């Protein structure tokens, strides 16, 4: 059967998303359907898809169900949650400047930032992070994987892994322009020591308060920005003594501000509605 689906296309620092209202709970997308909608040639085109759902018996005002562009489910997306927060505001689904959103990575607090009565920035408490190997997860001996060497097709590179609610692995490069994102990225993403795969960040330290970053996202490929990836890179740089607690992360699609607190990190960045529309999707029969 065919279903007419209303959607909003949003972007945060160039990381773009399809957002669909599923508060009624009547939309159940298969991985193939998500991949079709995210396809830039045959569908709408996006790095990911978000279903806006009721929090139900979960904590939080709303639940963000997030899919990568290949149709796989992801625990959390930093740029996505900012766009989701603005979507809720733009569609008058709430009338608060601060609220909480439930995700598969836990409850996240968000704050809308307005300028001339228009919300264009969102601050997100990204919640607790963890360097524990079991939480990433990563299959190694030892409690943490900090600045350790992995042989990448004959080249030895150092990586650090951590969990932002989803897995991240960070390496530092001398020149972000020539970073081997398209070759090393998929190799590390699919390395057997990562049972749930991993996002891969390539960071260049500019100063103790600035990083340049490129990201290979799990299930997507290289994107213009990644909020959890920016947070992960800032945390690793601080852990290794390369930066302070407040860091601007410069990505291909724009800048994100990060601030490390005690055991969590705040991330602030833009969120913009690009357009709204309707697409006719041939829904699979559910059995």
Alpha-helical runs (H) found in 95-198: 181-189
DSSP conformation letters of 54-94: E-TTSSSSEEEEEEETTS-EES--HHHHHHHHHHHHHTTS-
Kindly state the DSSP code that residue 228 receives in the 8-state scheme: H
Task: Give percent helix, percent strand, percent coil of the chain, each to the nearest 5.
Answer: 15, 45, 35
Q: Are 204 and 175 in contact (CB under 8 A)?
A: yes
Q: Is 83 a catalytic residue?
A: no
Q: What are phi and psi of 123, to 5 degrees?
A: -105, 135
Q: How far apart are CA 23 and CA 19, in angstroms?
A: 12
Residues 195, 164 contacting (CB under 8 angstroms): no
Q: Are 74 and 189 in contact (CB under 8 A)?
A: no
**Which residues touch 141 (CB under 8 Å, ≥6 apart)?**
none
CA 235 to chain centroid, in Å, comes to 15
Among 38, 77, 83, 92, the one annotated catalytic: 77
Pick the catalytic residue from 38, 83, 92, 226. Answer: 226
Q: How far apart are CA 55 and CA 91, in angstroms?
A: 17
Q: Which of the residues are catalytic? A: 77, 226
């Amino acid at each position: 059967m065919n279903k007419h689906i209303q959607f909003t296309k949003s972007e945060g620092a160039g990381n773009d998303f399809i957002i669909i209202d599923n508060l009624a709970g009547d939309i159940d997308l298969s991985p193939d359907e998500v991949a079709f909608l995210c396809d830039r040639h045959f569908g709408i085109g996006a790095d990911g898809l978000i279903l806006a759902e009721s929090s139900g018996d979960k904590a939080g005002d709303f639940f963000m169900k997030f899919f990568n562009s290949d149709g796989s489910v992801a625990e959390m997306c930093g740029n996505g949650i900012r766009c989701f927060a603005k979507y809720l505001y733009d569609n008058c689904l709430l009338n608060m400047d601060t609220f909480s959103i439930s995700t598969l990575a836990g409850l996240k607090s968000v704050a809308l930032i307005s300028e001339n009565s228009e919300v264009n920035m969102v601050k997100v408490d990204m919640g607790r992070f963890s360097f524990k190997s079991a939480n990433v997860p990563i299959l190694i001996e030892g409690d943490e994987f900090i600045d350790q060497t992995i042989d990448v097709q004959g080249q030895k590179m150092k990586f650090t892994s951590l969990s932002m609610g989803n897995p991240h692995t960070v390496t530092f490069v001398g020149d972000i322009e020539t970073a081997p994102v398209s070759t090393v990225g998929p190799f590390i993403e699919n390395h057997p020591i990562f049972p749930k795969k991993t996002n891969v960040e390539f960071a260049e330290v500019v100063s103790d308060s600035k990083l340049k970053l490129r990201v290979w996202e799990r299930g997507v490929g290289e994107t213009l920005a990644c909020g959890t990836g920016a947070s992960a890179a800032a945390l690793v740089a601080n852990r290794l003594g390369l930066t302070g607690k407040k860091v601007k992360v410069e990505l291909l699609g724009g800048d994100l501000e990060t601030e490390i607190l005690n055991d969590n990190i705040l991330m602030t960045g833009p969120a913009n509605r690009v357009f709204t529309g309707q697409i006719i999707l041939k829904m699979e029969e559910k059995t």
